[in-house]
Amino acid sequence: MSREILVELTNMCMVYEGSKVLVQRRSLEHGWPGVTFPGGHVEPGESVTQSVIREVREETGLTLAHPRLCGVKDWMNDGGSRYIVFLYKCDTFSGELKSSEEGEVFWAERASLPSMNLSSGMEETFRVFFEDDISELSYYRENPDDGWQIVLE
**Contact footprint for a copy of itself (CB under 8 A):** 2-9, 41, 44-45, 47-50, 66, 68-72, 74, 76, 80-82, 86, 133, 135-136, 138, 140, 151, 153
Toward a copy of itself, which CB reaches closer, 6 or 97? 6
- Choose between 8 and 123: whose C-beta lies nearer to a copy of itself: 8
- Pairwise CA distance, residues 52 & 72, whole Å: 13
In sequence order, what are the residues at sequence separation of 6 or more whose Cβ sits closer than 8 angstroms to the Cβ of residue 60? 15, 22, 24, 38, 97, 98, 99, 100, 105
Identity of the residue, 81 or 112, whose beta carbon is nearer to a copy of itself in the bound complex: 81
Q: How far is the CB of 129 from a copy of itself (least distance, A)?
A: 13
Contacts of 27 (CB under 8 A, 6+ apart): 33, 102, 103
